Amino acid sequence: MKKSKLNFKKILFIIVGSTSFLLGVVGIVIPGLPTTPFMILSSIMFLNSSDRLYLWLTTHERFGKYVLDFKKGKGITFKTKIYAQTMMLLTITLSLVPISPAFIENIIIRIVLAISAVFSFWLVGFKIPTNKFLKNESSQK
């Protein structure tokens, strides 16, 4: 009997990486949903499961910069961090406040959103480095 080259862990990493990638893409157009953390998670999942997907993501003209800047320790600008955290806070608040038109009634979804918001806020604020070079460069213009 021939062994399959795909094991459960590899398949799981590809699924999680692909889901994370899709959330990152959606985060480009939906305020409050961060792109960078999802792209970083995708790169980690692809690095551990598929060389082809990892290479595709890191060389992609639109999405590769998120991963490569983080990998090189560049991070994101302070202005981008403030914008991302403000949009996340606003979106999550509107989703969780009962008088809001964007209120989500399902308690499980609200719990998942709240946990995701805390994690993303922490990740953007404290784990993703601030790119001081870009901040200084933009202030000189």
Provide the pLDDT for residue 54: 94
Distances (CA, A) of 31 to 2, 52, 66, 122: 48, 30, 17, 17
Task: Give 42's pLDDT tier (boundaries 50, 70, 90).
Answer: very high
More confident residue, 94 or 44: 44
The torsion angles phi and psi of 51, rounded to 5 degrees, stand at: -60, -35
Average pLDDT, the chain: 79
pLDDT at 53 > cutoff 60: yes
Q: Each residue of 55-71: pLDDT tens digit?
A: 999 999 888 877 887 77
